[in-house]
Structure 1
Amino acid sequence: MADDSRIQKTDIIGSYAAIGDSFTEGVGDPGPDGAYVGWADRFAVLLADQLPVLDEATSSDSPRGEFRYANLAVRGRLLDQIVEEQVPRAKELAPDLVSFCAGGNDIIRPGTDPDDLAERFERAVADLTNAVGTVMVTTGFDTRGVPVLRHMRGKIATYNVHLRAIADRYHCPVLDLWSLRSIQDRRAWDGDRLHLSSGGHTRVALRAAQVLGLETPADPDQPWPPQAQRNTFEVRRDDIQWAREYLVPWIGRRLRGESSGDEVAAKRPDLLPL
């Protein structure tokens, strides 16, 4: 079921800035050149496709209105880092639309209070709504099928309830990832089981377009093609390989106080044409 938190399609969205962490940066969705694409890049293309052609008298391949897009997201960023580093830049750019996804890296840390986290998120939303056209709030995933993260499902659900309430207070559309059933399929996730695959990112982009009332080329919740069931041995083998390749290094970074984004900068810091 599509999310019912929509904005009226009365004004054309001519510019869009995405702020957040690895999810919005696009980790898990590498392009042909190896650089990450991600749902925000794919969503930007869908937004650009809605712009009218500048000169209707020209050929069908004439340039469209100049849609501009910035992606300020950086992997590993916590909410306070996003608020400090990315929110001021988004305000400076003042686009028609900002997507705001933050708090995921905080909520999975021991001792994090989702109520306190939501209060800090709300202050950032209030700040953003005074400077940009529309702020689209993004909820967290339902992690019931994700190893390790399934144990944090209650905290994530509590945080999501707060995010929806914040969105209601500030009249923000909501990109509700909890209700997107298609990303419960393991094929929607990258090998690290922490980030979406290309297919998962594509479905999120389609849902974001639906939230804004745009026409979409496909249904984000359409079923995945049937596949053979894995036996117990295959599941166990994959779990062991995942733990060695991803879980142990992730725990090591946490213990050392390191982040995967320590040496990473925003991939698209300016509002530029696609």
Structure 2
Amino acid sequence: MKQPIRFVALGDSFTEGVGDNDLRLPNNCRGWADRVAEELARHDPATRYSNLAIRGRRLQRIINEQIEPALAMQPTVVTFYAGGNDLLMARLNLARLMQDYEQAVRRIKASGATVVLFTGYNVPLSPLLEPLKLRTAIYNRHIRRIAAAYGTLLVDYWCFEKFQDPRMWSPDRLHMSRPGHCYMAKKVLEVLGEPHNLTSPAFPPPRSRTFTENIADDVSWLKRDVGPWLSRRVRGVSSGDRLGARWPELMPVVLPEKLGTAKARPQESSRFS
């Protein structure tokens, strides 16, 4: 008899669910991990779920704060996405980052849980940030190697052509939109080999934009998202500093149709970690 799934999600804003806004839920977001848990629970109500991810967390803090609590829950499935915020740092020892990442994967894998890793994506931020593509490509090469070495599952996010459509991204250009999170949930369930009822997003053809509109959108993005993010970096703070884990304990899955309509308490801006 198959044992009930105990699913624990670890990481940063990608896994917390930033970009998939839902005022009924902790931290005002839902995300792909919640959606994966919901589909698992629809097929097995005994499924239990915890999400320890917090926006803005870099790899070392994820290791220090999330891995031991996760392993204490004796999970059967662990998703681990970390390092994305480190790639955004001006100074980065990428070799050391990947050594620390590999040690973390080794610890999680030793628990006996099914481990799911993710490559990064070439987020279409701005031509000014094109150098990030090289860092991400190197990071992804290491992730693929680690996944093969430790026998983990891999969601190769880099290869998903759907994410070339800007409508898969939130206005801050860094986090997935609701359709992006829905599609990611579908791909994670496929990698896990679990049944689901999710479908791929279908968009109408995009409207052509003028050069002037593109420039205006870039200026708005720089003021609204990049400026505050840079300010936080200079001050050494993160949008997740005042937040806790959304689902810190292993618990039955909260299905969206059973949620109330009361609005959650407003949280600090979810733009850029």
- Report the TM-score range of the alignment, normalised by the length of the smaller protein: 0.7 to 0.9
For the 8 Å contact 1:138–1:176, the answer to whether it is kept is yes
Match status 1:36 vs 2:15: no
> How far, CA to CA, are the matches of 1:254 and 1:170 in structure 2?
34
1:11 Cα shift? 5.0
Structural RMSD (CA): 1.7
SS at match of 2:115: strand
1:41 Cα shift? 0.5
Q: TM-score, normalised by structure 2?
A: 0.87
Match status 1:253 vs 2:232: yes
Query: After superposition, where does 1:1-274 map in structure 2 within 5 Å?
Result: 11=2, 14-33=5-24, 35-51=28-44, 64=45, 66-143=46-123, 145-147=124-126, 148-220=128-200, 224-274=203-253
Q: Which structure 1 segments of 5+ residues have no match? A: 1-9, 52-63
Could you tell which deviates more after superposition, 197-206 or 40-49? 40-49
Per-residue CA deviation, residues 182-238 of structure 1 (Å, 9 max, x unaligned), is: 112111111111111111111111110111122343454x65321211111111111
Q: TM-score, normalised by structure 1?
A: 0.86
1:92 Cα shift? 0.5
Structure-2 change in CA distance of 1:46 and 1:272 (3 Å): same
> How far, CA to CA, are the matches of 1:179 and 1:135 in structure 2?
20
1:155 Cα shift? 0.6
The total of aligned residue pairs comes to: 250
Which structure has greater helix proportion? 2
Q: Which structure 2 segments of 5+ residues have no match? A: 254-273
For the 8 Å contact 2:52–2:245, the answer to whether it is kept is yes
> How far, CA to CA, are the matches of 2:4 and 2:95 in structure 1?
33
Identity %: 38
> How far, CA to CA, are the matches of 1:217 and 1:226 in structure 2?
25
SS at match of 2:197: coil
In structure 2, give the amino acid aligned to 1:42.
R
For the 8 Å contact 1:13–1:47, the answer to whether it is kept is no
SS at match of 2:242: coil
Per-residue CA deviation, residues 52-86 of structure 1 (Å, 9 max, x unaligned), is: xxxxxxxxxxxx3x110000000100100000000
